[in-house]
Every structure is written in C-alpha cells, then in structure tokens.
Amino acid sequence: MSSQSLKTRAAEGNFRSPLLKREMPGLDALRGVAILSVLLHHELNWQKVQQPPVGSMAARIADLFVFGWLGVFLFFVLSGFLITGILLDTKSQPHYWRNFYVRRALRIFPVFVLVLLIFKIFWHATWLYFGVCIAYMANLTSMMSLGGNQYGILWSLAVEEQFYLGWPLLAKLLSRRNLAYAAVASILLSPLLRYLSASGIVPLGNPHEMTWLVSDNFATGALLALLLRSKWGNVATTTRIAWGLLATGAVLLAAGIPLGILHRTNVLGAALQTVPFELMFGALLLFSLLCGERQSVLVWTRPLRFLGYISYGLYLCHIIVFTSADAALRDLGFYRSWSVRDWLLRFIGEGALSILAAYLSRRYFEEFFLRLKTTFAPSKDAPAKVIGAI
C-alpha cells in the first residue's frame, strides 16, 4: 500500500462527531420505544392471545397499535448503527474478531438458550427446531419440516446474527468510503429483491424475514454510523440530515398510502412498506443523539430508558408470558364476559409480569455474563450499554 493511501486511511479515522460518546442515553430511550411498540402490538394484536370482541372499545384501541411490529425494524436500524460503530472503532485493535464475537456471544447467547429450553420443555418444541434456532436459522423454518411448536419471534434474532456473520468482514476489509458504498447498495437493492420475491419472479423467501431482503434496515443504521465518523458528522449537518430523512420518509409514506404501500398483500407494499419508516427511524436515531442528553429529556425518557435496559430479555420472554397468562385466565373463566375493564386488567397484569421477568433476567442472570466481557474480550474503546438490536 502506498504512503498516500496510508495517509488517506489514517485521515479517515480522525473524524468523529461530538455526538458519539461512551454513554448515549438517547439511544437507550429509542430502544425503549422499539420494545414498547412491539410489546403493545403483541399484547393487543397477537393472534395467539385472547382478542377483544370486534367493534369494542378495546378492539379500537388495539387497532392503534397494529403497526407496532415496526419496532423490530427500528431495532435493526439501531443494530446497524451500533454494531458498525463498534467495528469501525475497533478494526485497528488486536484480536478484532475474537473480541467482537466473544462479546456478542456473552450478550446474546445465555438468555437465548434459557428461553429456548423453556420453550422446548413447556411448549413441546422438537429438538430439531431447538437445533435450528441455536444455529440462528429460525427465519428459515418455514422452508423446513421440523414438527412441534415454534416460537415465531425468533426470526428476528436469526436475521441479526446472520448480519453479524458478514458485516464485520466488510468493515474490516473495506475503507470507510467503500463500506458506505456497500451500505448504499444494500439500501437500493433490498427493495428490488423484495419486489422480485413478492412478485414470484425470483422466489427469495418471505420479503420481511429473510436477511438478504431486510438488510436495508441494517445498512441505514450503518450509513449513519459512517456519517458520524466523517467530516460531515458535525452537529449542524447532522441536524439538517435528520430533518431531511424525516421529511423524505413522511413524503414517501403519504405518496404511497393511496397506492397500497401499507399492505403486504400487494407487491408494492411487500417491496416498499418499510422504506419510509426506515428513513424516519434513521431521523429518530439522529434526533435521539442530538437531544438525548438534555436534562429535561433525561427526566421524561427515564421509563423508556429502563425498557431499553431490559429490552433483549423482554423481547425474548414476553410472548411466553402472554400466552401462559392467557391460558390461566381462560381456565379461570376471565373471558366469559368481555369488557374494557377485563382488557385493561389483562393488559396491565401481563405487561407487568413480562417487565418483571425481563428485569430479573437482566439483573440476576444476564449481568453475570456481561461482566465476563472484561475478562475474555477486553476492549479499551468498547462503548457502554451496546447490546445490538434488542
């Protein structure tokens, strides 16, 4: 490599936005928004739990959160941002590969295995399904004959882990400019691939569960991580970009609604449904960095930051809690006469149980493995509280 190339690559690494800090509470709050939207969607709209009567007030309230599943895609944007940042900040350090994968494993694997064992024992999943999930291929189970019950939400964990397999290699080998080109290519190519798959021209799997079809969400976050490590990462430019992303996403959404963009049953919706939202999620990410440390913001986002703190365990356990509690309530005759009071009690009770289970998991189980990071994978620049997507 020529001396000029070395100087160019060294100069690339000198740019760093003042918005990037070891503690970024705005991102914790945004993670809380993501898990809360998923929680509300599954509590009020999940097909495997008790639904309110059609036309009831509870049903109308549930309709407000029908798009809460988009919280998963907000997690993907966050993951692309955080993981790319880690990779860029540590690519010149020794033990790049070991540190990254050991730290990810200690964060993700223990509670994941625990939840899988609970599901295997009490919901009679097959060992074959257990093995497929352990290998982080749950998003491919629709293509397999595995038998037994399946835990549907694990597809998103599989997508994220598959992203972790390829993206670190690109981050290590490519310059920041070329990595940005790769992210832009993914942002442009993924909607086209979803169109080809949804239209049946090239069958590539479920347009919203295959890693190669949803990678634009990760790439959006990755591109923002690169932005904030470039000369355009100053506060003024970042603010303008945030407003631009928000406006562009809103315009695309408004233009697409009459064309059916909100419905996956048509090809346009399958291909473009998440695009306006991923742009707006990118804007929210930047705004969370711009405003997240203000004292007034810290006060009112405290509950969201708490949910962000327990988000991974909460995501993994909440459906188990919901379905178990619903089964117990049915046995007690709770659903014989439906009312808004019934709905409210169920919502508060099951939500509180899920949050309690997730907190206990984080405080007394997950934290033990997180402390092992400093022993098995020390990293002097490792950001605090970075847990990936969920």
pLDDT of 48: 53
Determine the residue type at 330: R
Q: What is the mean pLDDT of each run of 10 residues along the chain (390 residues)?
A: 45 75 93 95 69 69 82 96 95 91 94 95 92 93 84 94 93 96 97 94 90 96 96 94 98 94 89 96 97 89 96 95 85 68 80 96 95 79 48
Kindly give the interhelix angle for 211-227 and 176-198, rounded to the nearest 10 degrees: 150
Torsion, Cα of 136, 141, 147, 150 (10° steps) = 70
| Residue 233 in tokens | 């990462």
CA distances from 296 to 102, 113, 285, 300, 310 (A): 37, 39, 18, 7, 23
pLDDT at 13: 54
Distance of alpha carbon 112 from alpha carbon 130, whole angstroms: 11
d(CA 133, CA 83): 22
d(CA 25, CA 20): 11
353 exposure class (CB count in 10 Å sphere: 0-12, 13-18, 19+):
middle
Six token digits for residue 178: 């070329």
Residue 8: the pLDDT is 46
Cα 188 from Cα 143, distance rounded (Å): 26
Helix orientation angle between 154-173 and 70-90, rounded to the nearest 10 degrees = 30
Pair 142, 117: CB distance under 8 Å: no
Question: What is the torsional sign of CA 80, 85, 88, 90?
Answer: negative
SS3 at position 50: coil
Q: Which DSSP letter does residue 141 get? A: G
> Cα(35)–Cα(239) distance, rounded to whole angstroms?
25
CA distance 136 to 158: 4
76 and 217 Cβ atoms separated by less than 8 Å: yes
Question: How big is the CA angle at 148 (ends 145 and 150), to the nearest 5 degrees?
Answer: 85
Count CB-CB contacts under 10 A for residue 99.
Answer: 19
- Across the strands, what pairs with 125? 148
Q: Are 207 and 267 in contact (CB under 8 A)?
A: no
**For 88-97, which contacts have Cβ atoms below 8 Å and span 24 or more sequence positions?**
88/171, 88/176, 88/225, 88/226, 88/229, 89/381, 89/383, 90/379, 90/381, 90/382, 91/171, 91/172, 92/13, 93/379, 93/380, 93/381, 95/377, 96/168, 96/172, 97/168
* Cα–Cα distance, 155 to 190 (Å, whole number): 18
